[in-house]
Structure 1
Amino acid sequence: MSDVVAAARAAAAAMRDVFPPTPLLRNEYLSDLHRGDVWLKREDLTPVRSYKLRGAFNAMRKLDGQDVACASAGNHAQGVAWMCRHLGTRGTIFMPVTTPGQKIDKTRAFGGDAVEIRLSGDFFDDTLGAAQAFCAETGAHFLSPFDDGDVIEGQAAVAVEMLEQLDGPPDLLVMPVGGGGLSSGILSYLRAAGQVPEIRYVEPAGGASLTAALAAGHPVTIPDLDNFVDGAAVARIGARNFDILRQVPPQHVLRVPEGRLCITIQQMLNVEGIVLEPAGALAVDALRDLGPEVAGKRVVCITTGGNFDFERLPDVKERAMRWAGTKKYYVLRMPQRPGALRDFLGVLGPGDDIARFEYLKKSARNFGSVLIGIEGADPSTFAGLEDRMAGLGLSFRDITADPMLGEFVI
């Protein structure tokens, strides 16, 4: 038995004193939808609703009570906090000043009196620097969320459980990649155990750090990071993690668009009653791209987390509708005369619903600029709407996909 296999199995066995294995459940809805045998490894059902607990546990159990510190605004913070309380370890958790209160409160609840939360910096790099400076000053152990050998070893326990629960590897394994802790841990174990199935790695399109590293041959920093998928949108994959993943074929790395991911989040909630955070839904969403690779195969998708703030639901719905083409935003040049609005309303179809109407400014004495958001029953209805607006003589611009205007106006 290799050292990697023995260490991962020992970590998994030690975890049983803290929490049970997460279930591996066949999902009828996804199996029927994709004509395969689809199973979900439910890491969203750990005590902190994410797999991050595993790496934190494995690293901290080896520290003999040494104080720890970390920088995180999400699942890593909660995993460290939970383990501090369980192990009686003192922890200092650095979070950006901009962290939502709900995440701060949840981390504090998991850690109780065992942790101190410090808010530092508007951006994560500032928070990370503060945590590392604290460790240098106090001697506390800095616990990386992914670029750490013991964390990687702990995440490999997911693979240990999966092989035991399935009595062998699946035909296809689909797992998300952020900083690389989970994917490198699982891959290292499967390689050492000689049970490597077909694997597809999934990244958010706006945070494809593995794709960038494979293209460059080394980890690189993504300049423009979209942090909507906050559990997996990492600007730079970990160095240790990439050393394990560097032989992954680039064509096996899928990039999921954030808008489409929102459709999957909604479907899993509305159809299956499964609450997944954006990162937790990545592997499920990627089934859309795999097509014949799923049909007739036994497929395992790792749902990595379910820490979803329901205050984000309106944003998820908005992104989903815009991706599906059932919601559009226009800037109209509206005549400033009596009856102009009534004329405009006349061009709307029976299924068109005005979701937003806002005068932006008067561009001239006789005209004003209007932002209007319209929801339609079907994407095809918008072509007819635009024809009717043009026939009325209205000047308009579709700004739905404009990233700059979308950020500042929509």
Structure 2
Amino acid sequence: MLTGYVEKILKARVYDVANETPLDVMPRLSKRLNNTILLKREDLQPVFSFKLRGAYNRMSQLSADERERGVVCASAGNHAQGVALAASKMNIPALIVMPKTTPPIKVESVRAYGAEIKLHGNSYDDASAYASAVAEKDGRTFIHPYDDPEVIAGQGTIAMEIIRQHPEPIHAVFVPVGGGGLISGVSAYIKAFWPEIKIIAVEPADAASLKAALEADERVKLDQVGLFADGTAVRQVGVEPFRICRETVDEVVTVSSDELCAAIMDIFQDTRSIAEPSGALAVAGVKKYLAQNPMENQQLVAINSGANINFDRLRHVAERSEIGERREVLFATKIDEQPGSFQKFCKTLGERGITEFNYRYADEQKAQVFVGVRMNGQEEERQQLFSQLDNAGYDWVDFTDNETAKLHVRYMVGGHAPQIDNERLIRFEFPERPGALLRFLTRIGQRWNISLFHYRNHGADYGRVLVGIQVGEDYKQEFQTFLDTLGYTYWEETDNPAYALFLK
């Protein structure tokens, strides 16, 4: 079986449109993991994804009559762009069916290649069913994103390049998996000649259709899949890919969304490029694999499958990357509701970098706070932090792996506090460095009662803090003098309508 695919891969027509992408060493990550991590840069293709390889190879096999009737495909992203570019290059009429929920940026990217677009349904399944019906009715050829031998062969040319570019022994190749077209092509070529090289499939933990199929020894349709890694959000692995993967895949690693965010950060730090979540799957898989199978001085290849990420998702990626790297711990605790309690609590944390601090006055006894603290990624430091809190008498709840807390609750700490009198709302800015928040609180001292506090370290040069402080009528001038001599840039926000509507 593999011999047949090797022949198809060797004959595949992809380089009319595709580039032979670099295989780059990731120096920072390699040093950190004590292994050589090599990144196959499919994000550098003309459509920023490997998908055009398979699409073009499949379409190059069309007869003259089939080309005249045209092609149709269903996709919400990378495959659509691959088919559209291939159709433009070969002057073939193309209809791309995309779900109505497809982001406008992806629709416009496909339209730029001159393809006809039909928005239909709210999911890939809806779009695929419509595309299949069009193919039957109009005689168009349906170009499947992964369940087609010629598509698989086109993707397999990546393996051919990897072996040519890196003749030294490779321990393992890590491949992102959605429907399975990429991994089946890559694994078929590599295992035919180098069976000793491990093929490690990497899937999102909430869309692990290949893992489920291999465990059940048959294709399994997942009830639902997560959408963060939308390029691999496939409910069921393809028929032909599964047939190949049963023979060629050595192991499946699943990773969380936070681990994907951390991998996106790793790729950015080493290449200054931004991978899409599915594109970062292989790097996340390398890190997870090495954590479970310690080794040194091995050659590990990770395929970066694409870079088609919406700009507005970067906020979420940046927010979650530190947690995914285990470099931030989130927790809740209670502190005494009295002046100086913030400062005392920060002294307990020591010189650790505080990434987040959320608080709103609730009652006169105890204050509930939501805190983020920067870690070095080692479990020992995390346990040491909680031991220090225990020794100082603080009750705490770890929220680092609590999805509701991370997605929602952290932004909802607050609300109105009508029992608070004489509250002034001040926004401060101060130079961001280790211990900066503690120094800020020390400058405020114990003279004024803090009734609201919000701080989040975004990695900028300056920290930004929103503080509610109770100031009686008799102390207004004294407080103004205090602000003017504090040494920090500040803005009075007491009359801000957002404060009146949601916090006052």
What is the TM-score when the length of structure 2 is the normalising length? 0.68
Per the TM alignment, residue 241 of structure 1 is displaced from its structure 2 partner at its CA by 0.5
- In the other structure, the counterpart of 1:148 is 148
What amino acid is aligned across from residue 92 of structure 1 in structure 2?
L
CA displacement 1:349-401 (0-9 Å, x = unmatched): 26445465679xx9xxx79xx9965332335656766887957xxxx866554
- In the other structure, the counterpart of 1:227 is 227
3-state secondary structure, aligned to 1:210? helix
Per the TM alignment, residue 24 of structure 1 is displaced from its structure 2 partner at its CA by 1.8
What is the distance in 2 between the residues matched to 1:144 and 1:92? 13
3-state secondary structure, aligned to 1:21? coil
Per the TM alignment, residue 219 of structure 1 is displaced from its structure 2 partner at its CA by 0.9
Against the structure 1 CA distance between its residues 321 and 2, is the aligned structure 2 distance closer, same or farther, given a 3 Å change threshold? closer
What is the distance in 2 between the residues matched to 1:315 and 1:153? 35
- In the other structure, the counterpart of 1:300 is 301
CA displacement 1:154-196 (0-9 Å, x = unmatched): 1111112222222476232222222110111112223344565
3-state secondary structure, aligned to 2:346? coil
3-state secondary structure, aligned to 1:18? coil
- In the other structure, the counterpart of 1:39 is 38
3-state secondary structure, aligned to 1:131? helix
Answer whether contact 2:253 2:289 (CA < 8 A) is retained: no
Q: What does residue range 7-406 of structure 1 map to in structure 2 within 5 Å?
A: 7-11=8-12, 14-64=13-63, 65=67, 66-109=69-112, 111=113, 113=114, 115-167=115-167, 170-193=170-193, 197-248=197-248, 252-291=251-290, 295-323=296-324, 324=326, 326=328, 328=330, 345=342, 348-349=345-346, 351-352=353-354, 354=356, 373-378=370-375, 379=382, 381=385, 401-403=401-403
- In the other structure, the counterpart of 2:485 is none
* Range with greater deviation from structure 2 (162-171 or 93-102): 162-171
CA displacement 1:214-273 (0-9 Å, x = unmatched): 1111110122312211222321111110011113566x2111222122112112213431
Q: Quick check: which has more Rg, 1 or 2?
A: 2
CA displacement 1:263-319 (0-9 Å, x = unmatched): 121122134313211122222222223336652222222111122223211111222
Answer whether contact 1:330 1:400 (CA < 8 A) is retained: no
Answer whether contact 1:95 1:117 (CA < 8 A) is retained: yes
Unaligned stretches of 5+ residues in structure 1: none
What is the distance in 1 between the residues matched to 2:268 and 2:81? 23
Against the structure 1 CA distance between its residues 220 and 298, is the aligned structure 2 distance closer, same or farther, given a 3 Å change threshold? same
Against the structure 1 CA distance between its residues 194 and 15, is the aligned structure 2 distance closer, same or farther, given a 3 Å change threshold? same
* Range with greater deviation from structure 2 (140-149 or 397-406): 397-406
What is the distance in 2 between the residues matched to 1:174 and 1:119? 34
What is the distance in 1 between the residues matched to 2:86 and 2:338? 60
What is the distance in 1 between the residues matched to 2:216 and 2:39? 33
Larger RCO (CA under 8 A, 6+ residues apart): 1
What amino acid is aligned across from residue 209 of structure 1 in structure 2?
S
What is the distance in 2 between the residues matched to 1:29 and 1:172? 19
RMSD: 3.3
Against the structure 1 CA distance between its residues 343 and 354, is the aligned structure 2 distance closer, same or farther, given a 3 Å change threshold? farther
What is the distance in 2 between the residues matched to 1:92 and 1:342? 67
Give the length in aligned residue pairs. Answer: 390
Against the structure 1 CA distance between its residues 341 and 71, is the aligned structure 2 distance closer, same or farther, given a 3 Å change threshold? farther
What amino acid is aligned across from residue 21 of structure 1 in structure 2?
E
Aligned residues with identical type, % of pairs: 34
Against the structure 1 CA distance between its residues 299 and 327, is the aligned structure 2 distance closer, same or farther, given a 3 Å change threshold? closer
What is the distance in 1 between the residues matched to 2:357 and 2:93? 50
What amino acid is aligned across from residue 116 of structure 2 in structure 1?
E
What amino acid is aligned across from residue 124 of structure 1 in structure 2?
Y
3-state secondary structure, aligned to 1:234? coil
3-state secondary structure, aligned to 1:226? coil
- In the other structure, the counterpart of 2:466 is none
Per the TM alignment, residue 81 of structure 1 is displaced from its structure 2 partner at its CA by 1.4
CA displacement 1:46-99 (0-9 Å, x = unmatched): 111111111101111112314111111121111111111111111111222122
What is the distance in 2 between the residues matched to 1:269 and 1:213? 33
* Range with greater deviation from structure 2 (126-135 or 350-359): 350-359
Unaligned stretches of 5+ residues in structure 2: 348-352, 376-381, 411-504
What is the distance in 2 between the residues matched to 1:329 and 1:224? 30
3-state secondary structure, aligned to 1:253? strand
Answer whether contact 2:329 2:373 (CA < 8 A) is retained: yes
What is the distance in 2 between the residues matched to 1:193 and 1:7? 15
